Amino acid sequence: ATPRHLMSIADLTPSEFTSLVRNAAARKQTVKAGRTPTSLSTSLSGQTIAMMFSKRSTRTRVSTEAAVVMLGGHPMFLGKDDIQLGVNESLYDTSLVISSMTSCMVARVGPHSDVANLAEHSSVPVINALSDDFHPLQTIADFLTIHEAFPSSSKTGLGLNGLKVAWVGDSNNVLFDLAIGCVKAGVDISVASPKGYGIPDRMRQLITSSANGVDSPGRLAETTVPEEAIRGADILVTDTWISMGQESEKQKRLKAFEGYQITNSLAKRGGAKEGWKFMHCLPRHPEEVADEVFYSPRSLVFPEAENRLWAAVAALEGFVVNKGKL
């Protein structure tokens, strides 16, 4: 049978997405309470998870390695100078070879087609650990963070309907999966990016079509005015203005994004909700968010980073242990 892969949150039904987030929350609770069941800690025993990273990483690498160990498996980190990932050997050959010896490939790449190619030819599940288009593990952690910050009594869904997220900054990989997650979870998302840095048409289509089959999907709004996006928002989110691979555009981007830094006065001018929270996937640079917000009690960034571990546990259990039956 062809394995099931995690390329993007777009691959998940709303209820599968909810389950991944709820499973992450449940694992966090049990393990933190010191009640790790043996079934959990042995579920990957004797199995190797290949981690093929062509870009730097702190959170994704540490959370994935730690999660594999928590499940009793062996994480094998293969950095860009270790293996021939798309350099000196085709992705087709690499995929066939590595998937013949491991139980899963977790891959961080540049062009999304690289991870999609690995998946297409792999005999084991492939998990996207960030591509230029998507970052699904981040979105699972982000929704776990939102779920914790805005608890609901719902026993089945996430109970987040009616919340509003404001994204102020670049339209990038982290935004695209977050927006798809918002639409599926009934959370409105308003995006403010400078002209020329908005959501590309094909992504807008994917985000809005994620509403298909959802009872009350979240709505997407787009603007170039940060204040407009922020109005009535419960959560303000941003990410770096210069993603990995865009280093040569640094000066141009710093200029284009002037006025987009998240500060207390921007939140006030825009009219965010009184108890607004702040999120950022990290790594953070001071230009996109001021210290007064980033290190304030409103900021969820460190729990959000820790939640990457629980997201990785849930994704590995869902895609590797349970073979995609979420």
- Beta-carbon contacts of residue 103 (< 8 Å; ≥ 6 apart): 44, 47, 48, 49, 73, 124, 125, 320
**Other CB atoms within 10 A of residue 286 CB:** 9
- Beta-carbon contacts of residue 290 (< 8 Å; ≥ 6 apart): 261, 262, 263, 264
The answer to whether residue 261 forms part of the interface with ligand NVA (CB under 6 A) is no
The answer to whether the beta carbons of residues 238 and 284 sit under 8 Å apart is: no
The answer to whether residue 285 forms part of the interface with ligand CP (CB under 6 A) is no
The answer to whether residue 243 forms part of the interface with ligand NVA (CB under 6 A) is yes
In the shown chain, the binding pattern of residues 279 to 298 toward ligand NVA, with x for contact by CB under 6 A and - for none, equals: --x-----------------
In 3D, which of 210, 237, 280, 162 has the Cα closest to residue 16? 210
Shortest Å distance, C-beta 59 to ligand CP: 4
The answer to whether residue 173 forms part of the interface with ligand NVA (CB under 6 A) is yes
The token pair that represents 163 in the structure block: 């919340």
DSSP helix/strand/coil, 237: strand
Q: Residue 58 binds what, of ligand CP, ligand NVA, none (CB under 5 to 8 Å, by partner type)?
A: ligand CP
For ligand CP, which is the closer residue by CB, 259 or 283?
283
Beta-bridge partner residues of 89? none
The residues in 112-171 that bind ligand CP, with binding defined as CB under 6 A, are 130, 138
Shortest Å distance, C-beta 83 to ligand NVA: 21
The answer to whether residue 256 forms part of the interface with ligand CP (CB under 6 A) is no
Beta-bridge partner residues of 238? 280
The answer to whether residue 299 forms part of the interface with ligand CP (CB under 6 A) is no
Tell me the number of residues near ligand NVA by CB under 6 A.
9
The answer to whether residue 301 forms part of the interface with ligand NVA (CB under 6 A) is no
Say whether 281 is catalytic: yes
The answer to whether residue 307 forms part of the interface with ligand CP (CB under 6 A) is no
The answer to whether the beta carbons of residues 143 and 158 sit under 8 Å apart is: yes
Q: Residue 126 binds what, of ligand CP, ligand NVA, none (CB under 5 to 8 Å, by partner type)?
A: none
CA distance 193 to 225: 7
**Residues that are catalytic:** 281
Contact residues for ligand NVA, defined by CB under 6 A: 130, 172-174, 239-240, 243-244, 281
